[in-house]
Amino acid sequence: MKKLLIATKNKGKVNDFNQLFSKYGIEILSLLDFKEEVEDIEETGTTFFENARIKAETVMKKYHLPVLADDSGLVVDALNGEPGVFSARYAGEEKNDLANVHKVLQRLQGVPKKDRTARFVCVLAVAQPNQPTMYNKGTCEGEILEVPRGENGFGYDPIFLPRGFKRSMAELSLVEKNEISHRKFAMDQLEQWLTSK
């Protein structure tokens, strides 16, 4: 089975990717699989593209392998695009999903349903030795609920209602999420590269 290294330490993403990659017969490894702790990569970019590039190229240069990186987040219109590239650390450096969700809900208190539009964004970067880095972007439109719902997924899934759905992203199964997610749409554009591997 082919293997691909994903430059992430986020278990929720690894879970999504395991299911998304299964149809390509590709086994994925992440930074969580290394015996020694891999140092955190500083995400100093101001865009999802820059941070995806930093993660993919840093890890590719270290291990000399093709590497996929994912930089993603939640963009809320009524918050001028926040939390955006700061999604993981919105409520502090410790990257606490519950605290991040709470902060978004607090900032949206009193904002009516029609103004709670938002989207998940995912930029994937593929870095390979001696080749230009490739990028793909996927989005998933929806709105922010008033209270969290559901136990599946990770991050902001419990407060995100995908457009056209009655269940939150965290009330969808992994398979259902992966039919409509920002990560899936970014992956679709990689199909040619994945199938030629």
Catalytic residues: 71
Helices and strands in the chain, H and E counts:
6, 6
Question: CA torsion angle for 193, 141, 79, 54 (degrees, to 10)?
Answer: -10
- Select from 4, 5, 13, 171 the one that contacts ligand ITT (CB under 6 A): 13
The contacts of residue 57 (CB under 8 Å, 6+ apart) are 67, 125, 127, 133
Within residues 47-106, the interface with Mg ion by CB under 5 A covers 88
Q: Say whether residue 167 binds ligand ITT (CB under 6 A).
A: no
* Contact mark string toward ligand ITT, 126..145, x via CB under 6 A: --------------------
Please provide the DSSP assignment of 125-193 as one string: EEE-TTS--EEEEEEEEEEE-SS---SSS-TTGGGEEETT-SS-GGGS-HHHHHHH-HHHHHHHTTHHH
- Which parts are annotated binding residues for substrate? 8-13, 72, 154-157, 177, 182-183
Instruction: Indicate the DSSP class of residue 83.
Output: B
Distance CA 30, CA 67 (A): 10
- Select from 155, 168, 186, 194 the one that contacts ligand ITT (CB under 6 A): 155
Stretch that binds ligand ITT, among 109-117, 124-132, 148-156, 187-195 (CB under 6 A): 148-156
**From ligand ITT, Mg ion, none, which one binds at residue 155 (CB under 5 to 8 Å depending on kind)?**
ligand ITT
- Select from 24, 135, 154, 185 the one that contacts ligand ITT (CB under 6 A): 154
Distance CA 29, CA 59 (A): 12
Q: Say whether residue 82 binds ligand ITT (CB under 6 A).
A: no
| Nearer Cβ to ligand ITT (34/195) | 34
- Select from 17, 20, 59, 72 the one that contacts ligand ITT (CB under 6 A): 72
User: Which is nearest to 78 in space by CA: 108, 33, 47?
Assistant: 108
Q: Which residue is nearest to Mg ion (CB)?
A: 88
Cβ proximity of 26 and 2 under 8 Å: yes
* Residues making contact with ligand ITT (CB under 6 A): 8-10, 13, 43, 70-74, 87-88, 97, 100, 120, 153-157, 181, 183
